[in-house]
Structure 1
Amino acid sequence: AAAPSGHGASPGPTVPAQRGEAGPVLAWLREAVVSAALRAAARPRRAVWRTPLPAVLGLRLFPRAGGVDELALDTALATVTPQVRAAFALRVLEGLGPRSAAPVLAAAGVASPEEALHAAEHLRSIVGAEAEALLHGTEFDPCVVQARPTDLLRRRRRTRLTALVAAALVLSATAGTLVALRPEPPEPTPPVTALAAASARATDPRFLVRTPPERWSDTARVDLTQWPARGERTGDTALLSRALDAWTRGTGGGAGVRVSFTPSTPTTPPAAPPRLLFAGSVDGSAVVLLHDGERLIRYAESLAGRGGQVLELARADDADVTTGAAVAVARTGLGTRFLLAPWIDESAVRDLLRPDVPAAPLPVSGGGLTDPVPQPAADCGRVPALQVRSSTRIVEDHSFLLTDLGELSPAHLTWTPAPGTGAPARQPREATSAAGLAAWARSACTLPGLRGTGVRAVNRWEFARQALPEQAGPATWTCTRADLWNGRGRVTVAWEGPDPRGRPVRVPGATPEDTAACSRFGQHLLAGTYWTAPSGARYYLAAGSRALTGVTADGPVTASVRGQFLAVRTDATGPVRLTGTMPGSGGLPGWGEPDTESGGS
C-alpha cells in the first residue's frame, strides 16, 4: 500500500536505504505511530475497558522482566512527559537528527517540538550511550510478552461470583454513574529519581566544587583541578545560578544564549557539580569560569544589560602544568585578560618576531588576573606571547611560552633543535632560550592560521640542516606540529633559506588531516622542493631526518645518493617522488605522498 500524500495522490512505497532516511511510507508510518501513541497517552488512565496488554481468556500475559539497567531506564522514562518520550524514541531508536525529528513531533500534535527534543537530549546524556541497546532488547519490545495459565480454582470461584457481581453492578448503576461523572483526580507527581536528583544537583550553585587556596602547592596532580575559586563574586549565588542555567539551556539550543565551542568539545549539560574557578566583573562583563574535569566553560553577561548571555566551551581533559597555566577571561579592543594558575610566579609579554627584545613584565592582580595582552597584528607585524615561570613550590621551576589562538586556553610553544654531529636525538624543549626564540621568530606568522582549531601545543622541529649548492649558505628544514585537544595532529613541513629574516617556504604536497608525523610516534621524515640559486641555476633539494642512510628521487628528477641530503641541478618541473632508506625497515616515502609515514627526530 502507498502512504497517503498531502495532495491526495498515493506514491508507491519506497524503502529507505538506511535507518533515518525518510521515504513516503516510512515517514507516513512514523507520524501515524507517534500520533497514535501520544493520543493513547492523553486518555484518562482509568478509562473503562482500557487494558495495558492484550487479553486472552484463560491466560495471563505480562512483559518480560529486565535487569537493573532496564529498570533504571524505565524509571528515567517514567519521569518525563509522553512528548519527551516520543522525541527520545525518534532520536535514539529511529536515529533522526533534531531537524528531522521536529516535523514528526509537530505533525503528531506536539506544541513545542524544540523543547521536547532538548529535554530528550538531556535525558539521553543522563541515561548514557547504552540506552539504544537496552531499548532494542526484548524487555522493551511491545510485541514480546510472557504467557501463563490462570489459576483453575480461582477461575471456578470467579464463575460463581459472576452472577453476584452482575447483580451488584445493576443495583449500583446509579451510584456508579455518579462516581464516573466526578472530576478526574490530578495526576500524582512522579517520584524524584536518582538521575533527576543528580541533574538538579549539577545545576545548583550551592554544590559547586571549590578547591582550597593552597591545595596546588602540596599535590602530585598540578592541573586545573587544583585551581582555587577566585574573583570578588564567588559568593554571588544569583550570578552562578544564571551561569549554570545558561550552560543547561544554551547547550540545548535555548534562546538568548550565544554558544561557541572548539572542535570536538562535548556540548552536553553538566552531569555533576562542576568546579568554580572564577567569578567576577571584568571589562564591563560579569564572568564565570567553570571546569567539569573535561571541559572549560566561560559564561559572560554584560553589566549594562546589553548583548545577552555568552557561553564558551573548550576541551581541557589533558591540561597540565603548562597547558593549564592560563585561561582567557575577557577579550576587548585592548587585548585579552588571562587568569593565571596559582603556580605561576612570574609573567611577561614578548613579541615572537623580535627575539632580541626583552620581554616586558605583565602586571597581575592579587587574584591572578593579568592586564590586557595585545592581539596579533593583522599583517603579522606583531605576534605577542606570554612568557611565564612556574613556582619552585611545585619543583617545576622553569619558564615557558604561551600564545593566544583565540580559545580559552593559550597554546604551549616548544622547540626541537636540529640534530648535532654525534649528538643523540633531541626532544622538544621550552622555546625561551635565545636559540629557541630565534627559531620561533621565523615560524611565528604561521600561528594565526591555527586560530579556533582546538590547539593544545605547537612544536617547531628542525629535522635537518643542509648546505646549499654554490656555497649559498645553510638551509633549515622544519616540521611544525600542532597537537589538538582531541588527540589529532596537524603538520606543516617547510624550508627556510640562510637569510634569518626570510619566511618559511611550505613544502608542496597533500597534508593529512591527522597524522603521527613529527611526534614521538612518527620520528622519520623526508621532504624535497625546487630552489633557485643566486646565480640563477635551478636545483632540486631533498633532506631527511637523522636516521636516513639514503635518498632516491624518481620522476622529473632522477637521482640517488647515500646519506640524508640530495641536491641535483635540473631544469625540470613537476612533483618528484622521494624514497628514503633506513636500516632495518622499508622505504620511507617523501612528505606529502598518500602513503607517507613521516615523523620527527
Structure 2
Amino acid sequence: MQSQHVAPRPAPASGPVVDVGQAEAALVEHYPRLVRLAYLVLPPGLGRSRRVLTAHALTQRALPRGRATASLIPAQAKTAAESLWEGRDGDPGYALVRLRVVRSALEAGRPLKRTAWPKRAQLPWPLPQVWGLRLFPRSGGADELALDQRLSALSGPARAAYVLRGLEKLPEDGVRKLLRAAGVAHPASAVREAGRVPVQDALLLSPEFDPCSLQARPTDLMRRRQHTKAALAAVAAVAVCGALLTLPDGGWGPDGAAAPSDVQNPAVRAALDPAGLTKVPPTAWTTSARTDFSVWPARGGLTRDTALLRRALVVWARPGGSVRVSATPGTPSGPPAGPPQLLYAGRVDAARVVVFYDGLRIVRYAEPDKGTGGAALDFARVDGASGAEADAVVLGRADGDVRYLTAPWVTGAAERDLLRPRSGAMDLGPDHGVTAPLAGRARQTGSCTSWNVLELTDGSGTRLLTDLGELTPAHLTVGRPGAPREVSGAAALRAWSPFACSLSTVWSQGVRSVNAWEYARQKLPDGSGEASWVCTRADTWRGGGPRVLAQFHTPGGRYGAVAAKAESVPACGAKDPHVLAGVLWKSAAGTWYLLAAGSKGTASIGATGGASGSARGNVLAVRTRQGVRAGLKGTLDDGREISGLR
C-alpha cells in the first residue's frame, strides 16, 4: 500500500455522542461483520493466518476508552425522506466502531518509516494469540480466489472502498465521507480505483472471507521443536555468558549464522567471495539451445547486496547450530566446490532470500528481514533438469501459501485446483519472475478437499507442477510410460482429478515427476458402468526409490482408491510398463467381488488363495466375500509371468 493514499487523521466530524457502553454493545452485536470488514481491508500480503489474528485484534481495539463523537456518514443508500440513523446502520455506536476498524486496518497496512513513529495499529498486540496453530478461513471456489486476487491488486483505500460499498452497502458519497474520516487523502480516487473491480457483493459474504469461521492446522512441528531447543539454549547462554553478549563483535557479523571455523582450502575460499558469483545476462536464454537453470538470469532487488551474498555463501559452507538445514533425499549438503551461479537475491514476504545453483543443486538461504535468528538453508538436487523440471523454484512459504520464482521463458503462471478440473485458473503473474502467493496444500491432516497446482505457460505450451514440500515442484504428466503428455486440456485434467490427493503419499520424497496412466478399463459385474484402472508413478531425482500406486476409480466417484502400491520396482515405468493389481469391491446389491486388471499385453489373469478364478484377457472378476486375501498372477502375450503389485 502506498503511503501517499493516506492523509493525516482529520478532526472528528460533528455527530451523535457515543459513550463506551453503547459502542461496546454495537461491537459485540456486530462483531463477526466488523471482523470480516477488517479482514477484507487488511493487505493480503500479510498471509491468511496473520490477517485473521490482526483483524480480530483491530476490531477488539476499536472500542473507545470513553465518550466519542460518531461521524454522520450514511451506511446505505436512502431516500431523502428516510432517517439517516435507522436499524443497525443507523446506530451511532456501530458507525463509530466501524470507522475505527476501517481506520486501524488502513493504518496497519502502511509500511513502517524510520523517520516517523509507528501508528498504534502498526504495532503488534498481545491479544489475541494462538500458540501452536495456524488459523485461516475455509477455502472457497475459483470465484472467491479470483476476487481475492483482484482485491490484492488494489491499494488499501481502494480495497476499503470496494468492501464498504459491497459489504456495508454504502453509497459512493458515504464511502468518500467515511474514507475521509478514516484519514484517506484522496477518497474520490480510491472509489474510482475500486470501481474497476466488478461488483460481486455476494462473494464478500462467503466463508472464504469469514475470519470467525476458521480451520486450524499445526504450525511447522519440526521447526517449532528446533526453536524451542534454540530458545532454551539461548536462555542458558544469557544466564551464563550474559556479559559476553554486549561485546561489539558478538552480534550478526559478516559471517552471520556460520559456524566459527577457518576455511583453508583456496578453492572453497574463492567460492565464498561474492565477487566470484556467476551472474547470467538477462537475455542469455533467448539465444541458448538449453532450457535449464544454467541460463537463468540473476533476479531480485538485493543482487548487489554484498554483505547478504557473503553471509549466504559462508553459511552454506559451514552452517552454525542455529541454522535449520534441510535437503531432499539423496542430495549432498556440502559446501560449494567453486563459485556458484546466483539465481535470486531479494525480499520475499518477511525474509531476505538468496537462491544459488551449482550445476547439481539448488540452494536456498533465507534469513529474517529483521532480527538475527531463524536462518534456514535448503538443498534440492536438480542434476539433469530441463524444460518443465527447470521452470520454477520455491522462493518462500508463509501461512501455507507458496511463492515461486519462474524461468525467464515462462510467460504466464496460474493457480488451479486439480480436484475441480472444470474450474478456472487464477492468474498469479508473475512479476519479474516472482508469482503471487499460491494457496499451497501442505500435507493434509483431514479430508482432502482441494489440491492446488501451478500452471505455467511458455512458447511451447502449458505445463502443470505441484508443490510436494520441496524447493522444486514436481512435474505432472499423463499417458503411457515412455511417451507421457502434459496435463493441458480438459481431458488430461479430468484424468488427474480423482487421483490428486494421492500425491500426499510422496510428500518430501525428492520427487522429480509424477505420471498418471490409465492402463485398463473394466465393466463392473453388476452392470453399474465401467471402472478405470490408473497407475501413478513418482520418479525421484536420485533415480531409485520410485513409488508406484495402482488406483481404482468407479463411475461417479470423486476419489480413486489405492488398490496396490510398491517401491523401487520397474512396473508402470518406461523400462517395463506392465502392471497388474486387484481390489475387493462391493456392488450396489451388496455382493463382494475380487476385481483385477493388467495393462495392455496381458494375456490372462489368475487369482489364488481366498478367491480363486482365472480369465483370458487383461481383466478378472471373481465373486468372493469380504476380507479375503488373494494373490494375483498374470501372463503376458510373450509368455512372461508377472505378479500383482502389493
Task: Give TM-score, length-normalised by structure 2.
Answer: 0.57
Alignment match, 1:81: none
Does the 8 Å CA contact 2:367/2:373 hold for their aligned counterparts? yes
Q: Deviations over 1:316-348 (max 9, x none)?
A: 112111011011111111611111100101111
SS class of match (1:211): coil
SS class of match (2:389): coil
1:213–1:359 CA distance, 2 compared to 1 (3 A) = same
SS class of match (1:376): coil
Q: How many residues align?
A: 385
Alignment match, 2:618: 564
| Structure 1 segment 221-236 matched on structure 2, within 5 A | 221-236=290-305
Quote the offset at 1:512 in angstroms.
3.8
Q: 1:239 aligns with which of 299, 304, 308?
A: 308
Matched, 1:357 2:414: no
Does the 8 Å CA contact 2:412/2:429 hold for their aligned counterparts? no
CA distance in 2, matches of 1:282, 1:591: 44
Does the 8 Å CA contact 2:412/2:430 hold for their aligned counterparts? no
Alignment match, 1:589: 643
Q: Deviations over 1:35-75 (max 9, x none)?
A: xxxxxxxxxxxxxxxxxxxxxxxxxxxxxxxxxxxxxxxxx
Alignment match, 2:234: none
| Structure 1 segment 276-315 matched on structure 2, within 5 A | 276-315=342-381
Alignment match, 2:150: none
Does the 8 Å CA contact 2:410/2:456 hold for their aligned counterparts? yes
Alignment match, 2:478: 415
CA distance in 2, matches of 1:353, 1:543: 25
Q: Which moved more, 1:291-300 or 1:482-491?
A: 482-491
Q: 1:257 aligns with which of 304, 323, 328?
A: 323
| Structure 1 segment 41-60 matched on structure 2, within 5 A | none
Structure number with higher relative contact order (C-alpha < 8 Å, ≥ 6 residues apart): 2
Q: 1:540 aligns with which of 594, 597, 603?
A: 594
CA distance in 2, matches of 1:426, 1:487: 15
CA distance in 2, matches of 1:288, 1:407: 16
Q: 1:429 aligns with which of 464, 475, 485?
A: 485
Q: 1:389 aligns with which of 451, 457, 463?
A: 457
Matched, 1:380 2:448: yes
CA distance in 1, matches of 2:386, 2:601: 32
CA distance in 1, matches of 2:406, 2:566: 35
Q: Which moved more, 1:479-488 or 1:492-501?
A: 492-501
Q: Which runs of 5+ in 2 are unaligned?
A: 1-257
Quote the offset at 1:572 in angstroms.
6.8
Matched, 1:461 2:526: no
Task: Give the CA RMSD over aligned residues.
Answer: 2.2
SS class of match (2:318): helix
Q: Which amino acid aligns with 1:524?
A: H
Quote the offset at 1:233 in angstroms.
0.9
CA distance in 2, matches of 1:492, 1:536: 27
Q: Which amino acid aligns with 1:376?
A: R
SS class of match (2:526): helix
Quote the offset at 1:360 in angstroms.
1.4
Q: Which amino acid aligns with 2:368?
A: S
SS class of match (1:353): coil
Does the 8 Å CA contact 1:335/1:374 hold for their aligned counterparts? yes
Identity %: 43
CA distance in 1, matches of 2:618, 2:369: 61
Q: Deviations over 1:490-518 (max 9, x none)?
A: 111111111142x222114xx44312221
| Structure 1 segment 472-483 matched on structure 2, within 5 A | 472-483=528-539
Q: Which amino acid aligns with 1:285?
A: A
SS class of match (1:527): strand
Q: 1:513 aligns with which of 564, 567, 589?
A: 567
Matched, 1:201 2:258: no
Alignment match, 2:609: 555
| Structure 1 segment 168-207 matched on structure 2, within 5 A | 196-207=265-276
Matched, 1:495 2:552: yes
Does the 8 Å CA contact 1:334/1:372 hold for their aligned counterparts? no
Q: Which amino acid aligns with 2:584?
A: Y
CA distance in 1, matches of 2:357, 2:350: 23
| Structure 1 segment 100-139 matched on structure 2, within 5 A | none
Q: Deviations over 1:106-133 (max 9, x none)?
A: xxxxxxxxxxxx99x999xxxxxxxxxx
SS class of match (1:459): strand
CA distance in 2, matches of 1:490, 1:512: 6
CA distance in 1, matches of 2:637, 2:400: 55
Does the 8 Å CA contact 2:563/2:581 hold for their aligned counterparts? yes
Q: Which amino acid aligns with 1:431?
A: V
Q: 1:527 aligns with which of 537, 556, 581?
A: 581
CA distance in 1, matches of 2:632, 2:262: 53
Alignment match, 2:215: none
Q: Which amino acid aligns with 2:271?
A: A
1:569–1:255 CA distance, 2 compared to 1 (3 A) = closer
Does the 8 Å CA contact 1:494/1:507 hold for their aligned counterparts? yes
SS class of match (1:355): coil
CA distance in 1, matches of 2:527, 2:383: 50
Alignment match, 1:27: none
CA distance in 2, matches of 1:286, 1:413: 30
Q: 1:470 aligns with which of 516, 526, 530?
A: 526
1:334–1:490 CA distance, 2 compared to 1 (3 A) = closer
CA distance in 2, matches of 1:590, 1:406: 31
Q: Which amino acid aligns with 2:461?
A: H
CA distance in 1, matches of 2:602, 2:290: 40
Does the 8 Å CA contact 2:482/2:574 hold for their aligned counterparts? no
Q: Which amino acid aligns with 1:545?
A: S
Does the 8 Å CA contact 1:493/1:506 hold for their aligned counterparts? yes
CA distance in 2, matches of 1:555, 1:579: 11
Alignment match, 1:131: none
Alignment match, 1:345: 411
Does the 8 Å CA contact 1:122/1:269 hold for their aligned counterparts? no
1:122–1:471 CA distance, 2 compared to 1 (3 A) = farther
CA distance in 1, matches of 2:507, 2:610: 37
Does the 8 Å CA contact 2:400/2:441 hold for their aligned counterparts? no
Quote the offset at 1:564 in angstroms.
0.8
1:573–1:406 CA distance, 2 compared to 1 (3 A) = closer
Alignment match, 1:484: 540
CA distance in 2, matches of 1:494, 1:343: 35
SS class of match (2:601): coil
Q: Which amino acid aligns with 1:437?
A: L
CA distance in 2, matches of 1:512, 1:255: 38
Q: Deviations over 1:162-214 (max 9, x none)?
A: xxxxxxxxxxxxxxxxxxxxxxxxxxxxxx8xxx2211111111100111111
Does the 8 Å CA contact 1:557/1:572 hold for their aligned counterparts? no
| Structure 1 segment 11-22 matched on structure 2, within 5 A | none
Task: Give TM-score, length-normalised by structure 1.
Answer: 0.61
Alignment match, 2:141: none
Quote the offset at 1:583 in angstroms.
2.6
CA distance in 1, matches of 2:626, 2:374: 60
CA distance in 2, matches of 1:426, 1:499: 30
